[in-house]
Structure 1
Amino acid sequence: MKVKVQTLDAKSGGDLELNDEIFGVEPRADILHRVVTWQLVNRRGTARAARERSDVARTGKKFGRQKGGGTARHGDRRAPIFIGGGKAHGPRARVFSASLNKKVRALGLKMALSSKALGGQLIVVDNLDLKDGKTKELKAKLGGLNLGKSALVIDGDALNVGFARASSNLSNVDLLPAVGANVYDIMRCETLVLTKAAVERLEARFNG
């Protein structure tokens, strides 16, 4: 698959041949759904447990007499009805995690990249160099690229410092290194922007 390379000024920068085994795979909704679900499950934090009756540090001595006190019978102060007592049927500690085959994860990333390439939502730029690294300057340049409502920009192994500083104030632009490319972030953005270094790194990641 051949795509046009642009500069941040939306000027032509030649052509680039993309690997069809990575950017030309027919997307499957079930594979993408499995990978996104796996990502979101593993993002969840652990559930915090509440202290129940056996966990509260209070006396276990019987509270009051069994009969003759004019009140209900109570065994100790750790009962849930007392202030400071244990929680009745409280939440238990849980760890949320899921596993997914490596081949399925790799296939899901290929399909996510292919869905953007085949849908015309992929833009390849030569680099992310900015003269001054200012947000105003970057916003003016990105206006010519027609990024839509949101864009994910993926750079090579190291992020461009000037671009990262300038894009930090733009809520509709996210920046990731090539090693951080993932299905969820790619699918939730409207436009995917790859640098030439990112394309090389992604192709090396799957071929290597």
Structure 2
Amino acid sequence: MRLALYSALSSKIEDNSLIIVDSLDGKNGKTREALSLLKNLNALDSTLIVCDDKNNLIYRGVKNLQNISIIDVSHVNVYDLLRYRNLIISKEDINKLMEVLS
């Protein structure tokens, strides 16, 4: 299972579809803010956001957007990584993902 996750992550890196951001904190959890963030990252279509806390304001901001999904770091799976074209994750959460994979 871990090998498959590593392979899926490697695929995202090779395709330049892994987007690492400094932080995924939403200012006030508004959809407009989330949409603006995704536009700036060129990730409006088929995007998976991985974050540590689903109660995060970013979750509130993206839950109404089509083709955008958000998942907790501890629940990342191969299917979701391959299903979405883009993967957005924060620097802090990528370290947590590596802990989950080890």
TM-score (norm 2): 0.91
Displaced runs of 4 or more, over 6 A: none
Aligned to 2:29: 133
Q: Say if 1:148 and 1:190, in contact at 8 Å, map to a contact too.
A: no
Tell me by how many angstroms 1:148 deviates. 4.8
For the residue of structure 1 that corresponds to 2:7, the secondary structure is helix
Tell me by how many angstroms 1:123 deviates. 0.2
Q: Which amino acid aligns with 1:131?
A: K
Aligned to 2:48: 152
Aligned to 2:92: 197
If asked which structure has higher relative contact order (CA below 8 Å, sep 6+), I would say 2
Aligned to 1:109: 5
Q: Say if 1:129 and 1:160, in contact at 8 Å, map to a contact too.
A: no
Higher helix share: 2
2:25 matched to 1:121?
A: no
Aligned residue pair count:
102
Fraction of identical pairs, as percent: 35
Provide the C-alpha distance between the structure 1 equivalents of 2:101 and 2:48, rounded to a whole number of angstroms.
Answer: 20
Alpha-carbon RMSD: 1.3
For the residue of structure 1 that corresponds to 2:94, the secondary structure is helix
TM-score (norm 1): 0.47
Higher strand share: 2
Tell me by how many angstroms 1:206 deviates. 2.8
Task: Quickly say closer, same or farther: Cα 1:148–1:140, change in 2 above 3 A.
Answer: closer
For the residue of structure 1 that corresponds to 2:98, the secondary structure is helix
Q: Which amino acid aligns with 2:90?
A: T
For the residue of structure 1 that corresponds to 2:95, the secondary structure is helix
Instruction: Give structure 1 stretches of 5+ with no counterpart.
Output: 1-104
Tell me by how many angstroms 1:205 deviates. 2.0
Aligned to 1:188: 83
Instruction: Give structure 2 stretches of 5+ with no counterpart.
Output: none
Tell me by how many angstroms 1:197 deviates. 2.2
Larger-gyration structure (1/2): 1
For the residue of structure 1 that corresponds to 2:23, the secondary structure is coil
Q: Say if 1:123 and 1:192, in contact at 8 Å, map to a contact too.
A: yes
Q: Which amino acid aligns with 1:107?
A: L
